[in-house]
Chain A
Amino acid sequence: MNTETLIPKVGVVTDIRIDTPDVKTFRVVGLDGKKVFEHIPGQCAMLSVPGVGEGMFSITSSPTNTEFMEFSIKKCGCLTSWLHAMEVGQQITIRGPYGNGFPVETALKGKDLLFIAGGIGLAPLRSVINYVRDKRENYGKIQIIYGSRSKDDLVDYQEILDEWMQDEGVEVNLTIDREQEGWDGHVGFVPNYVKELNPDLSKTVLMCGPPIMIKFTLAGLKELGFQETQVYTTMELRMKCAIGKCGRCNIGNKYVCKDGPVFRFDELDELPNEY
């Protein structure tokens, strides 16, 4: 790994897509117009605006995208507010990739995959979804269950409609929390929808969303008969260094930035419930 890892590179924002009222997707390339670095789906990068702060964000685009990286970012604090106010052409700093990523070339290979996401939780999973869509022959059936508060809060909605839903062997189940005009899809919370859909127990689950969704969905999956060893999630805690040294993102003796962010639930079970 880069030994000067705390010194970032400069990235240029070449496109900004408005996903939802509080989520934007930023396209980033290096000063040479190429990708700043390669990554594994589920890995993260530290983005910063000097003078404002630095934060860890999952890389939303798939490694199979050879031209640029994308980050879907929800506006919720200082740094993200600043990022949301940016215009195309703005430079930011970027360093990475960090973390373990999903085991796309090992444990997940050849498996039927079930993606479960809530709200901005789709961001890290989108990288995996597009990766396995691009390497279709290596994976079995794909099912995506995705929910958000309303239709307007569905991240990547256009991509879901235009690409994911058009793919063969990809089943997409969308849901929103409450009835809404112009929505004729499913209404209800993700955990209940998962139970309703009763997915096949042979599937390997990749899940990301707000803590409350994770908690109830995991319980629902267990009720259906899923084992914790089949369910992966990706974590987020406060980070500063991203290389396991600054000392704050640990859950027990594991650092989310280095040993995670992807954990299997049986691994999390052996760690303190402090996240």
Chain B
Amino acid sequence: MLKLSLKKLDELFAAMAQSQALYIPADNGGQAQYLRWAPGMKMTAALNTVRSAKDFFFPQTEGLVNFKMTGKTIEVIDPRTEAEDFVVFGVRACDARSFSILDKVFLVDPVDTYYQNRREHGTIVTMACRQPEETCFCTSFGIDPTHPEGDAVCWMTDDALYFEAVTPKGEALKEKIASLFEESDDAAVKAQQAETKAVLDRLPLHTFTAEPLGGDVLMKVFDSPSWKSLSEACLGCGTCTFVCPTCQCYDVRDFDTGNGIQRFRCWDSCMYSDFTLMAHGNSRNSQVERFRQRFMHKLVYFPANNDGEYGCVGCGRCLAKCPISMNIVKVAKCLEGELK
């Protein structure tokens, strides 16, 4: 394990940023978000960013293809350029797991090459959690926030940063920065992990589990009478969807630049009224059905298609951000109550 004094954190960032772009969670107008590092930029004190780290691989908007129209003819232009190498530093365990969930969508046949391209060029350096919030429930999905997944993992104590490379990408990064570090044992990390685990046991949601919904309960849950009351106050906004690290539904739209057509994709939300709207009707006509779709997708449909893995990582963003405080925990608890 490598150790670095926190006083040298800026040097570490400078070293990482030397040969590739570096993004760190920093404060912007009082909100934590990933920003491209520049000398002087400090890490946020917030536990996590408002927007998840999915943007790095699945940005909110992204050009797919351009068209040039002349008379009756169309020219198809691939707008992509080579993606640059980048490092995302300070990703939490929940977001790190979300990448493997997104992979199960975008990297299965037919592979989404836009996503794949970014994925291949990105190195993920994760950061173990020390002070989880009451909204955290990643442990419910088998995630260990004291030892996140990632190409490399970091632990931050009061005075030092500990670094461990995990994958070949992580090793490659390690080589570039190793000279800043000194070798160290893992005693401080072990101590911190034990301390954090004690906090995890005291989290209000530490006993929460989505397990009852992972079985063969699709139709039973779908037909639950509770969807109506659960969705009653839903505003039909896209906050939950857009702050969610695993929500990946998208829309494809055309934009007339005046000089050709840009076809782009952008995040979409199943909570929106036009998500399933067709010229002759809508298969999810009211907010009850749209609301149900979001939670069925994460808790029932996704596990059914992916060996029981849930489409949720327990990051707690929707718990914190929903304008009416309705969220996946409340929904799951209510439905599980009915299954008993």
Contact = CB atoms under 8 A, between A and B. Distances in A.
Chains A and B touch each other in the complex, with CB atoms below 8 Å apart: yes
Interface of A: 1-10, 50-54, 76-78, 80, 87, 89-93, 236-238, 240-241, 243, 245-250, 252-253, 270, 272, 274-275
Nearest first, the 6 A-B pairs at minimum CB distance are A77-B279, A247-B249, A50-B67, A253-B301, A50-B261, A253-B304
A7 B74 contact: no
A241 B65 contact: no
Nearest to B73: A91
A8 B76 contact: yes
B153 interface: no
Contacts of B279: 76-78, 80
Contacts of A246: 249-252, 265, 268
B128 interface: no
Contacts of B250: 240-241, 245-247
A6 B76 contact: no
Contacts of B265: 6, 240, 246
Nearest to A255: B305
A4 B113 contact: yes
B65 A6 contact: yes
A10 B74 contact: yes
A80 B280 CA distance: 12
B159 to A, nearest CB: 45
Contacts of B180: none
B167 interface: no
A4 to B, nearest CB: 6
Choose among A3, A78, A275 the residue with the greatest number of B CB atoms under 10 Å from its CB.
Answer: A3
B: contact size bracket: 35 or more
A52 B278 contact: no
A76 B281 CA distance: 11
Interface in B254-298: 254, 256, 261, 263, 265, 268, 270, 275-280, 283-284, 289, 293, 296-297
Contacts of B293: 250
A53 B222 CA distance: 32
Given A50-B261, A237-B283, A245-B250, 18 more contacts: A4-B78, A8-B65, A51-B67, A51-B254, A54-B254, A77-B278, A87-B72, A91-B72, A91-B74, A92-B74, A237-B276, A238-B283, A247-B248, A247-B250, A247-B268, A247-B270, A248-B270, A249-B276
B111 A3 contact: yes
A220 to B, nearest CB: 23
Nearest to B111: A3
Interface of A is mostly: loop
Interface string B49-78: 000000000000000110101001111101
B218 interface: yes
A1 B110 CA distance: 6
A274 B251 contact: no
Contacts of A237: 276, 278, 283
18 contacts: A3-B110, A10-B75, A50-B69, A51-B261, A54-B254, A89-B72, A91-B73, A91-B74, A236-B278, A237-B278, A241-B250, A243-B110, A246-B250, A247-B268, A250-B297, A252-B296, A253-B305, A272-B223
Interface string B210-228: 0000000011001100000
A169 to B, nearest CB: 35
Contacts of B141: none
A51 B69 contact: yes
B109 interface: yes
Nearest to A13: B72
B219 A274 contact: no
B210 to A, nearest CB: 16
Contacts of B278: 77, 236-238
B202 to A, nearest CB: 36
Contacts of A51: 67, 69, 254, 256, 261
